[in-house]
């Protein structure tokens, strides 16, 4: 038997050989079928599974050679299928019957997979991938979809000459190019527009070559690095700034920290009910000293020497002291204001100080 004959078996051929990996499962038939077809072609045994070689009569001199080859191909198929599927074809005697049974069972009417592939291809974007990785992943999806929906071939005799199948192939190729260009990152917008203006559109491999050349001229030299740095900068810029745990404010009136002169109790007085812990504001001390001395109701007194613009009459001082808590006993501070006028009785009336002093 000549080595070129499909009936020839090399002495090193073994029936327990696993031709492809992974083996056939319920979800990888098309990839498995493609790999097995290539393996059978390499071993010159594809004719035993595609039906080209039929079973010869038992009286035919080639029957024994066919039987050996058919048994070898059966064993290769059994070892290249998952155990659960293999048990369902174990009792089929011909390699062609197993091949046809698997094709009819796993390749027909997979509408859900076709729908999933179409949605995945339409939504597929480059994102942070390089152009090469993006094109490779898109090609895998596109080829699988074309395996479900291949371009038809004319079977007319004689062959038709209307050119409809050539047009279908052109539409298919253009759709592939458009899908590839639309999924590219926005930094390829210029070359994408230039390619889409070409009529007719270049083949997909030519388009891929043009985009790869553009990628090499990017400032970063790598699309993945460019996108990663962009995303990292975008994320870090949105991080909230940590607030300082140290209050650096300092009052220019009393010299103490964590407040300003606008809210200084030493200057403006402590609010009613405030627990001063034995301390009294300078304004409180000055008010008590001024009230203890007789002043004319029309005379004004300077409460705080450091702020000469703040002056009060005796009536206003009395009304202000009435608002202070009785339990507050400020230490004695020498008053800077003095008067020889007798202390008149408190008078009633509206006070503007209640609003101004506490603001």
Say which residue the tokens 């038997």 belong to.
1
pLDDT for the residue 268: 79
Q: For residue 113, how many C-alpha atoms fall within 13 Å in the half-sphere facing its CB?
A: 18
Contacts within 8 Å (CB) and 24+ apart, 306-309 = 306/253, 307/267
pLDDT for the residue 343: 47
pTM of the complete model beyond 0.85: no
Please check whether residue 6 is in contact with residue 47, taking contact to mean a CB–CB distance below 8 angstroms. yes
Rounded to the nearest 10 degrees, how much is the dihedral formed by the CA atoms of 317, 321, 322, 323? 110
Neighbours of 346 (CB within 10 A): 15
Contacts within 8 Å (CB) and 24+ apart, 23-28 = 23/79, 23/80, 23/81, 23/82, 24/80, 24/81, 24/82, 24/85, 24/102, 24/106, 25/82, 25/85, 26/85, 26/106
pLDDT for the residue 293: 53
Reading the chain (359 residues) residue by residue, the pLDDT tens digits are 788 899 998 888 888 889 999 999 888 888 899 899 999 999 999 999 998 999 999 999 999 999 999 999 999 999 999 999 999 999 999 999 999 999 888 876 578 888 888 999 999 999 989 999 999 999 999 988 888 888 888 878 787 788 888 889 999 999 999 999 999 999 899 999 999 999 999 999 999 999 999 888 876 544 444 444 444 544 455 445 444 456 778 888 888 888 887 888 787 777 766 655 544 445 555 555 555 555 454 444 444 444 455 556 667 767 777 776 554 444 444 444 444 444 444 444 444 444 444 43
Those residues whose C-beta lies under 8 Å from the C-beta of residue 263, and which sit 6 or more positions away, are none
pLDDT for the residue 357: 45
Spell out the domain ranges in the chain. Answer: 29-106, 111-153+161-232, 286-357
- Residues 34-65 as b or e (16 or more Cβ within 10 Å = b): ebbeebbeebbbbbbbeeebeeeeeeeeeeeb
Which phi and psi angles does 110 have, rounded to 5°? -85, 70
Token readout for 340 is: 């020889």
pLDDT for the residue 107: 77
pLDDT for the residue 148: 81
pLDDT for the residue 72: 94
Rounded to the nearest 10 degrees, how much is the dihedral formed by the CA atoms of 204, 207, 208, 214? -170
């Amino acid at each position: 038997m000549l080595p070129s004959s499909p009936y020839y078996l090399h002495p090193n051929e073994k029936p327990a050989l696993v031709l492809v990996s992974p083996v056939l499962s319920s979800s990888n038939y098309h990839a498995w079928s493609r790999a097995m077809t290539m393996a059978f072609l390499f071993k010159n045994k594809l004719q035993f599974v595609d039906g080209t070689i039929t079973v010869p009569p038992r009286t035919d001199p080639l029957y024994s050679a066919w039987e050996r080859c058919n048994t070898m191909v059966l064993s290769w198929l059994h070892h290249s299928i998952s155990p659960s599927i293999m048990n369902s074809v174990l009792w089929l005697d011909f390699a062609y019957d197993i091949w046809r049974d698997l094709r009819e069972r796993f390749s027909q009417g997979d509408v859900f997979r076709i729908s999933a592939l179409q949605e995945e291809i339409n939504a597929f974007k480059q994102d942070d991938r390089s152009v090469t990785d993006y094109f490779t992943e898109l090609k895998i999806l596109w080829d699988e979809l074309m395996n479900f929906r291949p371009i038809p071939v004319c079977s007319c005799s004689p062959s038709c000459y209307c050119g409809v199948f050539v047009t279908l192939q052109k539409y298919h190729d253009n759709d592939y190019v458009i899908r590839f260009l639309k999924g590219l990152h926005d930094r390829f917008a210029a070359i994408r527009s230039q390619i889409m203006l070409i009529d007719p559109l270049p083949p997909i491999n030519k388009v891929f070559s043009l985009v790869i050349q553009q990628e090499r001229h990017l400032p970063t030299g790598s699309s993945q690095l460019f996108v990663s740095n962009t995303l990292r900068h975008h994320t870090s810029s949105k991080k909230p700034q940590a607030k300082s745990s140290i209050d650096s404010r300092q009052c220019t009136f009393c010299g103490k920290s964590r407040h300003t002169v606008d809210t200084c109790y030493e200057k403006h007085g402590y609010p009613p009910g405030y627990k001063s812990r034995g301390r009294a504001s300078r304004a409180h001390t000055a008010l008590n000293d001024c009230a203890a001395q007789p002043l004319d109701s029309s005379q004004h007194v300077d409460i705080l020497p450091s702020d000469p613009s703040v002056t009060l009459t005796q009536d206003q001082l009395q009304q202000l002291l009435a608002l202070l808590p009785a339990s507050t006993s400020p230490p004695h501070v020498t008053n800077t204001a003095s008067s020889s006028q007798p202390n008149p009785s408190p008078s009633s009336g509206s006070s503007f100080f209640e609003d101004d002093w506490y603001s």
